[in-house]
Structure formats: C-alpha cells, structure tokens
Structure 1
Amino acid sequence: MANTLFILSLTIIWVMLLYHMFLMQGGYLHYLRYEKLMNKWEKNQNKALPKVTILIPAHNEEMVIERTIKAMLKLDYPKTKLEVIVINDNSSDRTGEIIEHYHALHPHIIPLHVAPEHGGKGKSGALNNGLKIATGEIICVYDADNTPESKAIYYLVLAMMNDPKAGAIVGKFRVNNAKKNLLTKFINIETICFQWMAQAGRWFWFKVTTIPGTNFAIRRSIIEELNGWDEKALAEDTELTIRVYNLGYHIRFFPAAITWEQEPEHWKVWWKQRTRWARGNQYVVLKFLFRFFQLDRKKIVFDLIYFFFTYFLFFFGVILSGAIFITNLFFDLQLELGAIAMILWALAYLLYITEVMIALSIEKEEMNSNNFIIVLFMYFTYSQLWLVLVLNALYLEAKRIIFKEDVKWYKTERFENKTTNSL
C-alpha cells in the first residue's frame, strides 16, 4: 500500500513539474514573438482610441494612493478619453482627502466615496460601485498600490482594438520593492515565474490566461453582461476569468503593458494575503467544477485543471510523498523505490531551478548570481511554506462551508514606499 501511494504521489509531482516546463517553453516563445505583433499593430493603428475608465478601489490607502494617482496623471493616453475613478471604500484615514485634492486639480480624477453601510466589504463590492458611474467603453482595473508605466493603458487598449475575440487583455506586473528584504526577493522571483509560465505559457499553448487583480482591461459590455464582480469571491479575478471564457471570449496576455506594485514586506502580511488568494482560488475551483457540465465553453477545463492541480492534487502529492518518506526513516514501510526516489527528488530540484532561471532570463536585469543563490534557497523555504499555507486555507474554506460563515475580506497592509521606478 505504501509503495502504491508513494508512486502515485511522485507521479502527481512530476506531472506538474513537466507541465510547468512545457508552459515555460511556451512563455519563452511568447516573449520572443509578442513585440513583433505589437509593432505591426502600432504601425497599422489608424482608428480613434476609445474612452477608458480606470477603476481603483481604495480602502485606507493613504500610504500609497498619492503615488498611484500621480502615475495615472502620467499615462500616455488622451485625457479627454480617460476617466480615473478612485473608489474611497469606507476609509478611515486620509485616502478620501488625497483623492479630493487631486480631483480639484485634475477633473478626470473622479472620487467616489462609498458610505459605511455599503463600503468596506471587499474589492468586488468597491469595483461594482465604481462600475455604476463609469462611462468608458473599456474598463481597466488597478490596485491602489500600482504605478503603471506611461504606455500601459495604451498597450492594453491597442491589444483590445486589434483582437476582437478578446474579452479582456492582461498586462504584466513587476515588484517595485523587490530589494527590500529576503521576502520581497522571493516574491519578485515568484511573480516573474507566474508571468512567463502560468500566464504567457498558457496563452501561447492554449489561448488561456487568468485575469489578475490589477493591470487588465475588459470590455464594458462584457462586465455588464456578467453583472459585475462576484462579491462572495475572495479571488474575484480568477472567478471573473471563468465567466468571461464561458461567454465565448478569450483573454490575451500582453506583457507590453507593465505596472509596478508593492508587495508584502513582512511574513505576517504575506501569510494573510496569500491565504486569501488560496482560499479564493479554492472557492473558484469548487464553484465551477461542480457546475462544469452546465458551462457552455468546455475550454475552461484548462484553467480549472490548472488550479485544481495547483491547489489540490499537487500539494496532496507533495505532502503525501514527504509523509511517507519521513515515516520510512523511523518505520520500515518496505519501500521499493527508496534510492530511485532520492534520484527523482534530486532531478525535481534541478528541474525547479532550471524553470525558474529560464523565467528570470526573460527579465534581463534579474538574471544574476544573487538571484541564483536565492532560487537555490527558495525551494527549501518559501516553496515549502506554501504547502502549510494551502493546507491552512483548505481548513478555513472547509470550515466556512460547513458552518456557513460569512466571507471576510483581508486588505493587504501597505508600507511607506520610497522606492522609485521609471514611470
């Protein structure tokens, strides 16, 4: 029995590792080709640009919101065709005051103050409130800690205009406090890998991409047809992704549109944020897997399988294999693959390093000896901590379902950020 379970767990792990390598190949090929398409689109661009509404949900964001608004003012997009709605979602700090200050100077910066009885319930609720007063035919979303590069909106719109089958366009995000400490260095590497494996790779091979929480554009007609964002979803972006695909559209990953964002600088903040992400994605997987045969577009299975493997099967395989291996050190389980298992583990470690370093090579400034050392260390620390986090998220989500608890939104704590980047 132990041998069967051990083989099963190793199979699950290796299927996921090889799948990620396959995605990494697609991501690298996408990196080599997308600029040629972008140049072709820009050369043939002769249509009038559409009006764009940017939605920025903000709850107690006085530490970062001014910098974000300044970045919006530097966007290379006609101001007459741009409105920036900053949703002051029941803030108790100076967020509303800062928004009003910039509104007085720049009329296209529009404050929306949400009253206590309607506000403070989460990002989805804030976005739905902003959507009610939006007038643009394209809706873009940015988090309150984001500083998009000047042409980010233009590139999102350019891709949308040249891809009529795209319901949404997803840009790339980078970490602006990556050098702060070891945690932010881990997150920076994780973020780069996500862009070029989970996003670019899936787009290249399957024409499937997941909407992130920031730096994306969606057609107003689509978000209205879907009745806005799901206010019960902690991962509102993933949940929205499934519904957009179910309408028959695809979602394009277009890394020319870049934003910079602040990441957690303390482990406690990271733990709460990532737990919310894990619980949110588990909610989405369970919500749509049980309704799979009711979905109109079966192509969604690629996304559902990806998240099911990531948040259920893969972690089950890693935990099971580890538990059996450790138990065998103290009790003879008569494992027949003891030596082979060590070889497979070593190969898995080397494959992990290879995948991450290929991803880092795409972002030229990230390919250095310091990051290589961090990657070697990352496998045994940051990646293993994810196992504990996902288990905890499964427990919390199961408890919520069993006891019918209300969904509680955790807003990521911000830090004063003096780091600069090119805007």
Structure 2
Amino acid sequence: MRKNALIVLIVMAVNFGLWAWFNRPAEPQLDFTGQIKAVSFSPYRANQDPLVNKFPTAAQIEEDVVFLKGKVGAIRTYSSMEGMEAIPAFADKHGIPVIAGAWLDKRLKRNETEMAGLIKNLHEHKNITSAIVGNEAILRGDFKPAQLSEYIKRVKEAAPHVQVSTAEPWHVWINNPELADNVDFIAIHILPYWERVPEEKAIEWSMQRYHQVVKRFPGKHVLVAEIGWPSNGERWGKAKASIANEAKFLRQFMNLAAQQNIDYCIMEAFDQPWKRPLEGVVGAHWGIWTVDRENKIPLVGTILEDSLWPVQYGVSLLCLIPMLYFLYRRKDQPFQGKLFFCLLLQTVTSSLVWIAFTPITIEFLPAETAAWAFLLPMQIGLLAVVLINGFEMSEMLWPEGLKRRFYPLRHDADEGLQKVSIHLACCKEPPAMVIATLNSLAALDYPDYEVIVVDNNTHDPALWQPLEEHCAKLGERFRFFHLEEWPGYKAGALNFALQNTSADSRIIAVVDSDYQVRASWLRSLTPYFDKPDVAIVQSPQDHREWEGDPYKTVCAWEYDGFFRIGMVHRNERNAIIQHGTMTMIRKAVMEEVGGWGEWCICEDAELGLRVFERGYQAVYVPESFGQGLTPDSYAGFKGQRFRWAYGAVQILKRHWRMLLPWNKTSSLDNGQKYHFIAGWLPWFADATQIAVLIVSLFWSLGMLALPRYFGTPLSIFLLPPLGAFLFKLFHFMWLYKTRVRCGLWERIGAAIAGLALTHTIAKAIFQGLTTKNKPFLRTPKCEERCAVVRGLMMAREELFVLCTLWVAAAGVIARYGTENPDIVTWALILLVQSTPYLAALCLSLLSVMPNLVPGVSRRTACQNTCQIAAAPVGLGATMSVASVPLKAERKDKV
C-alpha cells in the first residue's frame, strides 16, 4: 500500500508539473495602467456580418460606446453609412473623440454616399478630431494616389477645420510619397503579424517602421492608425497568433508609445467573427475584448495563454479511478512496471483531455471542426493502442510478476505417454521440402504416434506422388491421402485428417509442410496433457535457413518478436493465439468443439478461441521445437499477413458477442477477452492510418488550392499521430532489446519489416469488414527470386502512396516555405506517414537483391532443404538436432 501510494503521488506530481510547465505564464511584462489612446471600432456582434447586410442596431452601438468610455481616449470608425454614421453622435453624447472614416473602393456610387455621410458628420459633431478618407484603397488597387487625392481634397474643402488623411500600410506611404502632398497627417498601419515577423522581434520591427516613416515625412505628423496582434489562429510565417503574444505586444507597445508620445490606434476594440471568410480564423481575433465584450487581454499582472488549464488538469485526475483499480489488481507486479504504466495511463488521459478541450480553447474553421470530429475517434483509438503497448511493456520489461511459466518436461520413460496423431496438410508444395519435413517426423523420439499427410487440390501428380511414395517408404506410421477436389482449404484437409485419425490417438499435433522438428518435441510437451483441463500445448512458430540472406533475416526476426513477447504476455492470462503449426490439441476437445472452422481463413486462431470459450486451459512453452521457411518474396510475406489480419476480422465478426466484457454466458474471463481484443486492435489502428492519410492528403490539397478555407493544421491534428508512431517504435525497440535479444541492426531490420506490412494489414481490415470471405491465401515457399522490376511491382500500391505523400509534402513546402514551424511540422507528418510505405518498398527490393554476403553462394530455402530430404531416413531412424539449426538465444528459458 505504501508503494502504491507513492506511485499515485509521483504520477500526480508529474502530471501537475507537465500541465503547469506547458501552461506556464509568459515572461513578465511591464503593466499598462494608463488609458488606451484610441481603438479601431467596429460594433458588430457574433451574429452580425456586413458582408450579408446584418448590421448592429443603434442601441447596440450606443451600448458599445458606453462600454468603451473611460477605457480608451478615442475611437476610429471605418464607414459613414449603413448605421455607422451614427457613431459620432453617440460618441459626442458620451464625450468620446472620434477619428471618422469613409470606406472607399471601386463602387463609385457607394463612395458618394460614404463621402456625404462623412462630410455631414464633420459639420455636425465637434468631437471628430480628424478624418480618414479611404482605408488601404491603394494597397487593394482600388485607386491610384492621384485618384484618391481627389476624394481627400473634397473633404478638406468641405470641412477645412478638420485634419484629413488616408490610411495605408507603412510601405505604401514609402513607395508613394506623392500621397503625402494632399494630406494633413500621415496615417500608417503597422501590423507585424501580416509581415511574418516573429513575436520576439515585433516591437523592434514596428518601431523601426514608425521611425522610417517619420524620417521620410519630417513635416507631417504620423498617426499609427492600426497596430496590434491577433490572439488566435494559425501561424503566418514565424508569427504566432496567441493571447500571450497579443498581450505582450500591446503592453510593450503602449508603454513605449506613452514614453515617446506616439499617437496610435489599436487594432481593434472587439473581436470580429465576420472577418473569418476574408482572413481565416486569425481575422476574427484582433480585439482587446472578445466579441461578447469580455476581458481577453491581461494588461496588468500575469499573462496566461490558457486560463482553463487548471480545469483541464482537474478533469485529467479522473485517471485516478482506473489507476487505483490497476494497482489493486496488479499486486505482484514490480514497482517499476506499475509506475511505468501508471505514468503512461496518466499521460494518455491528459492527452485526451487536451484533445477534448481544444475546440473550447482554440477556435476552428468549419473544415477544422469537421476534421477534429472525424479524427477524434481515431485519435482515441491510437491512444488506446499506446496503452495496450504500454501494458505489455510494463509486464514484459519487468517479468518478475508473471506466474504462468512453462518449460519443456522431459519424460524419459515410455509408460504413460499418450498416442499422438500428427497432421500435415499440403497443397502444391515442392516435394523435396515436404519430404524433409516427413523425415524429421520419422526421427521423433516418441514411442506411439502416427503421421497423416493430406494433400488437397494439387492437380499435378509430379507434386503429390513423390510424397505418397515417400510415406510408403517411411512405414505404417505414415498414411498419405490425396484429395483431388476438396473444400475448406487447409481447414478442410485437417478435418479430413481428424476423421481418419486412429481411434486410440488422444492428442492431435499439427505441423506445416515446411517444418523440421526436433526429435524431443512430443516427449517434451505431451506430459502437460496429464492435466485434464489442458486442451492446447503450443510452442513457437520459428524459422530456419535465413542466415546470410538480409531479406529473410529481417523477416525471421520480425516473426520472432510475437512469439518471444506477445505470446508470453498472452499466456499469462491463458489467452494465447493458437497457430496452426507446432501445436498440440486434445483430440476429445477437438471433437467437442466441432473441428476446424472451414469458413475462416485463420482456422487455427478461431479454433483456439472456441476452445477457450469452453473453459479449457492452454500451455505455451516458449522454446523452439521446429522451424519452417520464411516466405521467399515480399509478396508472399505480405500475403501471409493479409490472411492473418483478414482472418482476425472474420473471427471478431463471428465471436464479438463472446468478447463483450458484460457477457456472462461465455466461459472467457476478462483477461482472455482483453487479450483477444487488445491483440487485434493495433491492426485496426493500422487501418485507421489509411483514413488519417486520406484526410492528410485532402487537407494538403486544400492548403494548396483553397488556402482561405484550409489553414495550417493545428497541433491537435499533428501531435497524437506523431506521438503514437514514435511510441510504437519505442515499444518495439525496447522490448526487442530486452526479450528477443537480437542486435541493433536486427532490431532495426525487424522494425522495417513490421512497418512494411502496415498497408497490407489495413487493406485486410477494411476488406474483412466489407466482405464475407476471401479465398485461402497459401503462403508460397521456395519461390524463385525475381528481377528488380518485380520487386517494384510487388510494392506498387505502397510506391504510389509513397510518391503521393512526398509530392504533397514538397508542394506544401514549396507553397508556404519553411518559416512557419507548423508548415514544417505538417510536412514532417506527411513524411512520417510515408515511412511504412518506404519500408515496404525497401523490403520488396531487398527480397530481390543478390546475396549481400561476399563469397557466399545464393541458395534458396528449397535448395538447402533438398540436402536434408536426400538423406536416407526410415522408420525408427534418428535425426541429428544439428540438422535443424537453432539460434543459441532461442534456447533461453523465459
């Protein structure tokens, strides 16, 4: 209890520290306690939009004027029509000076109405201190300087008592100095965000622009008519929109302006949601106050970016409920393992809270909101996979708490050993390979067994007749059956063997046609059947004759991880995957459950689940007693994995009700249900990656073609997939180092081989969900090596996706450059998403490359096997263990 309490305290402290660190206050800034000199004033509310003729009422305008009284020294308007002409009157009523404006553009008739409204107000209201005729009209290209000057002259002539100018960005004044000839003062816009200036340099840059204009026009007073920083939205180059950055910028500038007596007008009083279609999310968030007229920018005191983070931290503490349950159930697990998983559980929970709160703390465009909603279930799934991998790590990196450990049981006496019927199904296999397997079975050190060989659907006599002849040579223990046309694929052949099993056999053993077994296999494992509740005894699927072949080496190590890690972990809760080679099953149980399921292309795993549903036990002995051949090509490698993944979906579709936690009609316990769901969930996560990839490509296309509607993806879209991918590699490399004990390069190769199957697994999952059945995919052995072109063709789908992702990443960088870190991160995400496809291409090419070991002749697995097949092995003969080479580390006990 003390150790568990210490774990909880450590996790809570780390969690609080991370929330506090990521939400730490911005660096201290000088408070601004004075009055803001002036603000741009647009009185639109959340549901109002001048673009669709929805304007504020007179009462709302006056309400805003009253709100600003005392807070600002003056207000700047942009229009003198459509209700905005009433602003000077309300400001006059409440004693607020006005910088009155007229909006001018290419609509000449409308311009006349604007001019008339402005001139009328200049005559009627003495609180108008100056007038600004036109706003960025030259920048937009609506007028030439001479044309705009005519409008300015008309206002000056109509109201000579008022100072008149026009407002343009600083560089427009610098580039068009003749514009200053007809104005009374210079009104400049300085908006460093739109100039892609990073926030740490924004003040320095702004003051340089101001003094540049002052120096250029020494005889004119300079008003900074717009200056500010947005509080929300995407990055623009290196400029980042945030509340903290807006607060820092405004506090620094307004204090500096007070010191240097600079006239300015802050852009702007209130957030303006109606600007989103024009400028994106960022256009709506330049206000000092929110659109609801609430405080947004702290002008005094601490500057926090997310004031809701304490609430989010509090919600993340809900993790204590599953954490305490975990600690209660895992009493025997070592302290390090429990601490590791609890920290990971809290990290995942906090990540989910961050994802869920993001739409509250950050405003999205409609497309971003849709993407968030679409990706949310997938992100939850990715985080669930992280927890599954983490739970496996917590037990397999610190295995002291494991209880179900099984080892070979040497039974030297023949008395008491039950008769075993060994079933071998083959279809269109090279005879030499199968004969080598038969020879190894003939050499078994076991007193009472039979071997039933079933060759089904092989129409070429040259393939099956040598097997029939060899079985006859091996003696009466070996019986051969050839089924010319037989349904059910491998399951059908094994069911036929079951029907023809001798009546006195008590145990069914199954080996694949390419396996060579150790003589001690049966004698070492059959004693476990002395326990009446044991129905399955399984040893690993292992491989041989891969040494010196880089492609087969990485494949062999990729296979090995599941049997050294996953199967050992599943065995702890009696939930192993029963795989159809090197397996033994109690014959009575086989008959009880109805034999092999011919409807499923993974008949072995499906049978194992049905056995568990009947309440039986399985024993997994993690020592290799036989080795088969790895697929000779990448096509064979991924075809096999496609079958496994597709079969997993078939099994789930048939048995999902049995796996529901609340289903009490099944004999499966919660641990078994967990492993069968958690074991296949990562494959479904691979399938979701295709959906994420499609969204990524669609979004990238939108960024290139419709940048107004598709902004740079925010961190909410970037970090979870990237984090899950990195954790997957971390999980793989650490567990392989600890449990598989291969070298660094072997671990890297195995990781590449695993990644190369991502697309194939995803296809299998989608097809499994949308179709009822697929033909059984036989894993071909002893294929002849093919040309490089064949290597490219075997990975043609992956190559196409790879090129598409790389083109998208290059297009985004070419369009937006590398100044914006979010753009660079997005391009990196696209490249990360391409890694499984690059791995597939590399593995496919590796499978067709010449042997890379100098001086070693290239030999296929079949050529090596033929030497064994040629050896004279008869009934009662023995086979040297040396003829089935095993890696030394694979003999280690678990």
Common fold: TM-score over 0.5: yes
Contact 2:600–2:647 (Cα < 8 Å) also in 1: yes
1:357 — aligned with what?
A: 737
1:296 — aligned with what?
A: 666
Of 113, 128, 142 in structure 1, the residue corresponding to residue 481 of structure 2 is 113
AA at the equivalent of 1:74:
A
Of 243, 268, 291 in structure 1, the residue corresponding to residue 610 of structure 2 is 243
Alpha-carbon deviation of 1:247? Answer: 1.0
**Alignment CA distance shift 1:215-1:295 (3 Å):** farther
Contact 2:395–2:402 (Cα < 8 Å) also in 1: no
1:211 — aligned with what?
A: 578
**For the aligned residues, what is the CA RMSD?**
3.2
2:764 — aligned with what?
A: 393
1:100 — aligned with what?
A: 468
Alpha-carbon deviation of 1:133? Answer: 1.6
Q: 1: distance between equivalents of 2:404 and 2:385? A: 29
Mapped pair 1:335 → 2:714 = yes
Of 426, 448, 459 in structure 2, the residue corresponding to residue 58 of structure 1 is 426
**Alignment CA distance shift 1:167-1:383 (3 Å):** same
Write out aligned runs for 1:260-275 (5 A). 260-275=627-642
**Alignment CA distance shift 1:106-1:85 (3 Å):** same
**Alignment CA distance shift 1:207-1:294 (3 Å):** closer
AA at the equivalent of 2:440:
A
2:644 — aligned with what?
A: 277
AA at the equivalent of 1:194:
F
Q: Structure 1 residues 22-31 or 211-220, which shifts more?
A: 22-31
Alpha-carbon deviation of 1:123? Answer: 0.5
2:303 — aligned with what?
A: none
What SS does the corresponding residue of 1:87 show, helix, strand or coil? strand
Give the share of equivalent positions with the same residue, in percent.
18
Contact 1:289–1:304 (Cα < 8 Å) also in 2: no
Mapped pair 1:383 → 2:761 = no
1:154 — aligned with what?
A: 523
AA at the equivalent of 1:311:
W
What SS does the corresponding residue of 1:309 show, helix, strand or coil? helix
Of 885, 888, 893 in structure 2, the residue corresponding to residue 422 of structure 1 is 885
**Alignment CA distance shift 1:151-1:318 (3 Å):** same
**Alignment CA distance shift 1:288-1:87 (3 Å):** same
AA at the equivalent of 1:355:
L
Q: 1: distance between equivalents of 2:475 and 2:558? A: 38
Instruction: Pick 1 or 2: higher relative contact order, CA cutoff 8 A, min separation 6.
Output: 1
What SS does the corresponding residue of 2:472 show, helix, strand or coil? helix
Superposed CA deviations along residues 321-368 of structure 1, whole A, max 9, x for unmatched, are 55556666644254234775556644443333212322321xxxxx22
Alpha-carbon deviation of 1:191? Answer: 1.3
AA at the equivalent of 1:315:
D
Q: 1: distance between equivalents of 2:645 and 2:405? A: 36
Alpha-carbon deviation of 1:373? Answer: 3.9
Runs of 4+ in 1 over 6 A off after TM superposition: 28-36, 43-46
**Alignment CA distance shift 1:83-1:324 (3 Å):** same
**Alignment CA distance shift 1:86-1:44 (3 Å):** closer
2:455 — aligned with what?
A: 88
Superposed CA deviations along residues 208-239 of structure 1, whole A, max 9, x for unmatched, are 11100100100000001122111111000111
Q: 2: distance between equivalents of 1:388 and 1:281? A: 16
What SS does the corresponding residue of 1:55 show, helix, strand or coil? strand
What SS does the corresponding residue of 1:196 show, helix, strand or coil? helix
1:254 — aligned with what?
A: 621
Structure showing greater radius of gyration is 2
Contact 2:649–2:769 (Cα < 8 Å) also in 1: no
Superposed CA deviations along residues 74-107 of structure 1, whole A, max 9, x for unmatched, are 21211xx111111122422444333333333332
| Number of residue equivalences | 403
Contact 1:13–1:318 (Cα < 8 Å) also in 2: no
What SS does the corresponding residue of 1:256 show, helix, strand or coil? coil
Contact 1:167–1:219 (Cα < 8 Å) also in 2: yes
**Alignment CA distance shift 1:295-1:353 (3 Å):** same
1:364 — aligned with what?
A: none
Task: Identify unmatched segments of 5+ residues in structure 2.
Answer: 1-368, 704-709, 783-861, 866-882, 887-894
Q: 2: distance between equivalents of 1:5 and 1:90? A: 46
Write out aligned runs for 1:32-43 (5 A). 38=407, 41-42=409-410
Task: Identify unmatched segments of 5+ residues in structure 1.
Answer: 362-366
Q: 2: distance between equivalents of 1:104 and 1:344? A: 56
Q: 2: distance between equivalents of 1:254 and 1:282? A: 27
2:117 — aligned with what?
A: none
